[in-house]
Amino acid sequence: MIGAIEILIIVIIFGIIYGRDAIDKTFKKHAEEGVVESFAVDVRDFYKKDPKRLVLLVAGGVGGFVFVGMVIYWAFTRFDLPKMIGL
């Protein structure tokens, strides 16, 4: 039976091997470009390809953020987590 640590090690190794190839193939930025500038260019290109998909992606991201926030709020109010962690 494979344990969680072994699976994590395998995932890290595959991530290192295939991550470098993916970064090398998709890296199209200039050296003088900042993180925000490159992100803005990516968002603009993504919007030009399909504006509806970008709107759905933003709505999904906001919805996911609100969902996680509500789950954390529910857990804190339901199980007295602040008392458990000493707050």
Say yes or no to pLDDT of 68 above 90: yes
Backbone dihedral region of 86: left (phi > 0), alpha (psi from -120 to 50 degrees) or beta?
left
- Condensed to tens digits (0 to 9), the pLDDT of residues 30-63 reads 656 666 677 777 778 878 888 888 888 889 989 9
Phi, psi of 60 (to 5 degrees): -65, -40
Mean pLDDT of the chain: 77
Give the 3-state DSSP-derived string for the chain, with helices as H, strands as E and coil as C. Answer: CCCHHHHHHHHHHHHHHHHHHHHHHHCCCCCCCCHHHHHHHHHHHHHHHCHHHHHHHHHHHHHHHHHHHHHHHHHHHHHCHHHHHCC
Q: Whole-prediction pTM value?
A: 0.47
